Amino acid sequence: MNAQIENVLTKNHRASGLQTAEFSRILLIKPSALGDVVHTIPVLVKLRARYPRARIDWLITPENAEVVRHHPALSNVVLFARRDFSKRGRRWSAMVAFFELLKQIRRAKYDLVVDMHGQLRSALFALISGARVRIGFDRPIEFSHT
């Protein structure tokens, strides 16, 4: 997928609607898996290079947030406390927190979402954002289902 992102974000390619579009509010989705988060940092850098004045947020778990929180290309982290959903006795508060997160994403009025996670939950975040452009996988990642 990095090659496709490169094609979309590089101005040197022939003009298309997406390659010439300007975005001011961008959400990058890659919440977990530390190695994958690290491998997503070049996408963040490319987004910043292509959209230097945009607000770029990263939807990420608290466990991984410190890896990217102070990156100069990033505007803000949006925390997704995924582990709270599995704690017994906290399901109601976790559901309330989840819906608050969905409202937060919707209120941010992103115009571009880049889903590097490629799972149903991240697709839901992308869809609920209301972004006019959503980039992601066209099918589930191989081996994501047992």
Domain residue ranges of the chain, discontinuous segments joined by +: 23-135
Task: Identify the pLDDT of residue 63.
Answer: 92
Tell me what the mean pLDDT of segment 108-129 comes to.
91
At the fourth CATH level, the homologous superfamily of domain 23-135 is Glycogen Phosphorylase B; (3.40.50.2000)
pTM of the model: 0.81
pLDDT in tens, 85-102: 666 556 777 788 889 999
| DSSP code at position 29 | E
Per-residue pLDDT at 13: 46
Say whether 125 sits in a helix, a strand or coil: helix
What pLDDT digit, counting tens, does each position of 42-101 carry? 999 999 999 999 999 999 999 999 999 999 999 999 999 877 666 655 677 778 888 999
Which tokens belong to 12? 């040197």
